[in-house]
Amino acid sequence: MSPEEQLIKVFYTSFQNLDWRGMLACYRDDVFFYDPVFENLQGPEVRAMWEMLLSRAKDLKLQFSDIQSDGQYVSCHWTATYTFTQTGRLVVNRVTARFTIHEGKIVEHYDDFSLWRWSRQALGWTGLLFGWSSLFQRAIRRNVRKSLDRFIQTTTYVQS
């Protein structure tokens, strides 16, 4: 296993253990993160996001596989299974992740999944009927961003 693949294994093993500090140790301070919900996050926002998500997780189960590296770039697949607390609905989110590694740390992290599929599971009929809509997806993103901003303002999260 290459050093880059080992780094991603450590990252996802920490994720499985709800160890956001272990995950953050795999990132550079200036890391860039993107996914369909949070969209573009940088440095401290990424650190706050993982602390927020994992400190609130109650029944998260995570599996990862197919870690592949060509040196600087790494990809893998992961699946998170959890109860979405706002609705009590079970979510199984299948994600493809891509990473850029520089000097032994993750500098870019892109997660790709279907926001519509996620919203159908998390929000039920509302997500099924409206989850494909860009207006509905913007509302989801806006709510998540407000939640992250509140977390940053009210919590002492890891800043480095």
- Model pLDDT for residues 48-77, shown as the tens digit of each residue: 999 999 988 889 999 999 999 987 799 999
132 in any annotated domain: yes
Residue 81 has pLDDT above 90, yes or no: yes
Strand partners, 68: 75
Predicted confidence (pLDDT) at residue 7 exceeds the cutoff of 80: yes
Q: Is the pLDDT of residue 30 over 90?
A: yes
User: How much is the pLDDT for 156?
Assistant: 62
Question: Long-range contacts for 12-21 (Cβ within 8 Å, ≥24 apart)?
Answer: 12/62, 12/64, 12/76, 12/78, 15/54, 15/62, 15/64, 15/78, 16/62, 16/63, 16/64, 18/54, 18/57, 18/60, 19/54, 20/50, 20/51, 20/53, 20/54, 20/55, 20/158, 21/158
Q: What angle do CA 10, 63, 58 make, to 5 degrees?
A: 95
160 has pLDDT over 50: no
Q: Give the model's pLDDT for residue 44.
A: 93
Res. 107: pLDDT tops 90 = yes
Say whether pLDDT at 159 is over 60: no
Assess if residue 159 is contained within a domain: no
Within a domain: 113 = yes
Strands (E) in the chain, as ranges, are 27-35, 39-42, 61-69, 73-84, 89-102, 105-112
13 is in which domain, residue-wise? 3-154
Quick check: 117 pLDDT over 50?
yes
User: What SS3 class is residue 3?
Assistant: helix
Please indicate whether residue 133 or residue 8 has the higher confidence score (pLDDT). Answer: 8
Count of domains for the chain: 1
Q: Is residue 34 part of a domain?
A: yes
- Looking at residue 24, which CATH number applies to its domain? 3.10.450.50
First CA to last CA distance, the chain: 28
Q: How confident is the model at residue 43 (pLDDT cuts 50, 70, 90)?
A: very high
pLDDT of residue 88: 86
Would residue 160 count as lying in a domain?
no
